[in-house]
Amino acid sequence: MKRKHYEQKLRELHAELCLLQDWVRDTGQRIIVVFEGRDAAGKGGCIRALTERLSSRIFRVVALPSPSDREKTQVYMQRYITHFPAAGEVVIFDRSWYNRAGVERVMGFCTEAQHKRFLRECPAFEKSMIVDSGVHLFKYWLEVSEEEQEKRFQDRIDDPRKQWKLSAMDLPSRERWYEYSRARDEMLDATDREETPWYIVNSDDKREARLNLIRHFLSSLPYEATPRSRVVLPGRDISYAYDDVASMKNRRWIPTPH
């Protein structure tokens, strides 16, 4: 998709997202959005496109690091539950409790018994603790082709600006493509339920993927435009006027190149 067309469509969707944000705030909605998918599938770009024009106080992104020694002894879902939304909030999980079904499963960070228990209990947890509590739950899986993933990994290797994106798990994930495929299929088979569905996003075209995901998110919520009062910019109160430009003259200004 051409950049100009993409930016025009994204601008239109951002305007709708601002209306959605007002609705969430004014009606006290609680929303959770889970982003999962292949490595290099474009999760970060989708999250940025979704949130870049919104308030971080309402649309909150949660990207948890590896669990601490203490967190490893907690009930598995515990560290995620503490980030769940209060009224008027949207929480976006950049990877989530589904780590147990993906990287932990493939890389051996959990036992076979722990993996099976997670797949067995997760649907009931999501229904009773999230959906039945009145929270809107969206689960998005970004799927990228093997060829496109290779291209993106090579781009990260070659571009110094992108090398920070290469994590310790990225290259092993490339080697274990089919193991991740099987883990994905097991996860979807066990946790794609009518009340807590997974939505699959083809992300070979990053721009198209972002637009499609945002359109789907907007179309799935019954938001309405909140009436706004007309804003009038006030003039300055000059009763305390002084030369506030001169008072800044000898400060430590960063030089402006000419």
Predicted confidence (pLDDT) per residue in 56-103, tens digit: 999 999 999 999 999 999 999 999 999 999 999 999 999 999 999 999
For 110-132, what is the mean pLDDT?
A: 98
State the chain's mean pLDDT as an integer: 95
Structural domains of the chain ordered from first start: 3-228 (3.40.50.300)
What pLDDT, on a 0 to 100 scale, did the predictor assign at position 15? 97
For the chain, the farthest-separated pair of C-alpha atoms sits apart, in whole angstroms, at 73
Contacts of 128 (CB under 8 A, 6+ apart): none
Strand partners of residue 93: 34, 62
Phi, psi (degrees; rounded to nearest 5) at 74: -80, 165
pLDDT at 87: 98
The whole-model pTM stands at 0.93
- Separation between Cα atoms, residue 97 and residue 195, nearest integer Å: 18
Residue 255: predicted pLDDT: 93
What tokens were used for 105? 């499963």
Six-digit token string for 17 = 């997202």
Question: What band does 151 get if pLDDT is binned at 50, 70 and 90?
Answer: very high
pLDDT digits (tens, 9 = 90+) for 189-236: 999 999 999 999 999 999 999 999 999 999 999 999 988 889 999 999
Cβ count within 10 A of residue 63: 13
